[in-house]
Amino acid sequence: GAGVSQTPSNKVTEKGKYVELRCDPISGHTALYWYRQSLGQGPEFLIYFQGTGAADDSGLPNDRFFAVRPEGSVSTLKIQRTERGDSAVYLCASSSGGATGELFFGEGSRLTVL
Amino acid sequence: GEDVEQSLFLSVREGDSSVINCTYTDSSSTYLYWYKQEPGAGLQLLTYIFSNMDMKQDQRLTVLLNKKDKHLSLRIADTQTGDSAIYFCAERVNRDDKIIFGKGTRLHILP
């Protein structure tokens, strides 16, 4: 597609529920990143994929968070047993893997846990 | 560990120069970036510098890198109202290509 697409743009859920957030990267981009941005903060690194595999998942806060990219394109971030502290904007970015490593960001999925 | 620090706010008069500063901790950083986030929009790359350079100029933007002190700055000449945004400093950590962002500096333009 023309840009990075994230769905849903807005998700309100109740504490304890399961949530999936989807990212459709720019076609042909091999690298895909997930970040979390809370109000007034910078993007906090969660995980990054090179192709289908997670190259670095050191930013995932705990085992309630999991992400997949089974075919090396679309990725899904999965959050189990959501907590109020999970409320944030979840940003996805993709990169062609070129020398400069420029990231192209989607507009984010705003998650609110009540 | 990796950490990127920047001041949170900067107010500048229209037409003056803005200087946004950033420090980082990881000496293995290969690229350093400035991203811009306008209200209601996603982050966009503004400019970048490779770690073996000490200066890069791109129209109204000048990036200075002091690798010894791990200090990066972004200068915007002739600041305009359209420059009002949050500016994020970011570093690419060489060993695994992870990109780490600072908390962002909100640039406010005074008339």
pLDDT tens, residue by residue, A43-67: 999 999 999 999 899 999 999 999 9
Which residues, including other chains, have CB under 8 Å from residue A112's CB and lie 6 or more apart?
A: A10, A11, A12, A13, A87
Buried-exposed string A7-40: b where 16+ CB fall within 10 A, e elsewhere:
eeeebebeeeeebebebbbbeebbbbbbbbbeee
Q: Which residues are B63's β-sheet partners?
A: B56, B74
Average pLDDT over every residue of B56-70: 94
Nearest CA in chain A to B39: A107
CA-based radius of gyration for chain B: 13
Check if the beta carbon of residue B1 is closer than 8 Å to that of residue B52. no
Average pLDDT over every residue of A16-40: 95
Note whether B97 contacts A: Cβ–Cβ < 8 A: yes
pLDDT tens, residue by residue, B46-55: 999 998 889 9
Q: In this complex, do A101 and B41 lie within 8 Å of one another by their Cβ atoms?
A: no
Closest CA–CA distance from residue A14 to any residue of chain B (Å): 25
pLDDT given for residue B96 in this prediction: 65
Average pLDDT over every residue of A7-33: 96
- State the Cα torsion A68-A97-A36-A113 to the nearest 10°: -30
**Would you call A101 helix, strand, or coil by DSSP?**
coil
Cα gap A9→B61, rounded to integer Å: 32
A vs B, Cβ pairs < 8 A, gives 53
Mutate to test the interface with A, among B7, B35, B101 (most CBs of A within 10 A): B101
pLDDT tens, residue by residue, B28-38: 778 899 999 99
